[in-house]
Structure 1
């Protein structure tokens, strides 16, 4: 009788290598070794410190924000002896200190007083900078208006400046007329620049009463000029 041999199936055990199925190669059946996961306690501790540090910084910022107070900062120059105007102030937040900053809530009371010294823009107002009376606007003083043209005033003129008022004779005054000082130290009380630009405009100055008549007379004929005195602030 004739017999035929059948090929070994997939589930048939290889006779040469017991325990290994046919159709699976040796190298493919092996798994690569996996190294155990390394633990890094130093990195974990560093991450924890960073988290705690961030939380602490946030807490400090919150606590310090509660120590800030509203104060007054000067936005426009105020000359010594001039009245404190609310239009020349604005609110600013500063750290609470013992320097005596005037609170923003008292701005209306401050506006009823005068500057002890010339206050420049950016100055944080303290109580020592304000006085209740003014030697500039008191008895013996007068406010005189000037209409100045280019060449009769410096381009840097501003309210609160100290100026010297000078008589400048016109061409029709003769060769014998000479310039002279009409006021040694006048205070620029108000300044309204010309809308057309250039160093010109309406200026109100505070002078001694005795100097007011001559300044007004020469100003009406355009024979007055002012010279800024930066060192006299």
Structure 2
């Protein structure tokens, strides 16, 4: 009895469908996210460009380096030139400094302030008609420490034991402060003779009015 044998089949050289890999499905594309990423990149580049261009757009301005009291004239020592970014604010240009030096402060201006046109006036009410500038030689105890130009003070008559004191000027503007106790104040012209009379005999003192400008 003969056993039937099937010949072995060689599959090493198959090139048909059985030897091929299964196809990989293509990745799903998200065009909306790609477009958003592109917009963000372009927007960032545009913002950076504008920032660089803007930072180079600078103007010359005037900065106050010494306190100037209301009604006082601007001085060359109180001004300095600075370069600032052009923010659209109407700062006074350094090229206008000569005009500034011929004007007066409309308000008390502190050091570090960038000057604007509304901070100055052509004529000072403090130094106008009816006003007088008087100098006072004061001793320690007759004036507060730290008094500065632009402060407001009361000018007081202090007779000592001879009588009661009284206020001669309610709100005088300090026009200048010397190194050795000398103080210059602006008072009404009608009281200036009395102030000078008492000042000559050492019967004048000044009291600071904090917050008064």
**Which SS does the other structure have where 2:191 is aligned?**
helix
Task: Please list the CA deviations of residues 145-182 of structure 1 after superposition, one character each: whole Å capped at 9, or x if unmatched.
Answer: 000111111112001111110111134xx3xx001101
Deviations 1:113-147 (A, max 9, x none): 01111111111110011111111111100010000
Aligned to 2:53: 63
2:78 is equivalent to residue 88 of structure 1: yes
C-alpha displacement of 1:60: 5.7
Deviation at 1:63, TM superposition (A): 2.3
1:207 deviates by 0.4
- Taking structure 2 as the reference length, the TM-score comes to 0.74
Match of 1:73 among 53, 58, 63: 63
- Preserved CA contact (<8 Å) 1:86 1:108: no
Which has more radius of gyration? 1
For 1:179, the equivalent position in structure 2 comes to 165
Partner of 1:160: 150
Shift >6 Å, 4+ stretches: none
Distance 1:100 1:64 in 2: 17
Supply the RMSD in Å over aligned alpha carbons.
2.2
SS of the residue corresponding to residue 64 of structure 1 reads: helix
Deviation at 1:90, TM superposition (A): 1.2
Provide the C-alpha distance between the structure 1 equivalents of 2:132 and 2:157, rounded to a whole number of angstroms.
18
Q: Distance in 1 between matches of 2:95 and 2:55?
A: 19
Distance 1:113 1:230 in 2: 26
Task: Please name the residue that 2:88 is paired with.
Answer: 98
- Determine the structure 1 residue equivalent to 2:175: 189
Q: Which residue is equivalent to 1:28?
A: none
CA distance in 1 between partners of 2:143 and 2:136 (Å): 11
1:110 counterpart SS class? helix
2:7 aligns with none
* Residue of structure 1 in register with 2:133 after alignment: 143
Alignment partner of 1:230: what SS?
Answer: coil
Q: C-alpha distance in 1, partners of 2:207/2:66?
A: 21
In the alignment, structure 1 segments of 5+ residues that lack a partner are 1-52, 195-200
SS of the residue 2:185 aligns to: strand
3-state SS in 1 of match to 2:132: strand
- Give the SS at the match of 1:226: strand
1:221 equivalent to 2:211? Answer: no
Instruction: Give the alignment partner of residue 182 of structure 2, picking from 185, 202, 211.
Output: 202
Structure 1 Cα separation of the partners of residues 88 and 209 of structure 2: 34
Question: 2-side partners of 1:129 and 1:115: how far apart?
Answer: 6
SS of residue paired to 1:193: coil
> CA offset at residue 230 of structure 1?
2.1
Deviation at 1:62, TM superposition (A): 4.8
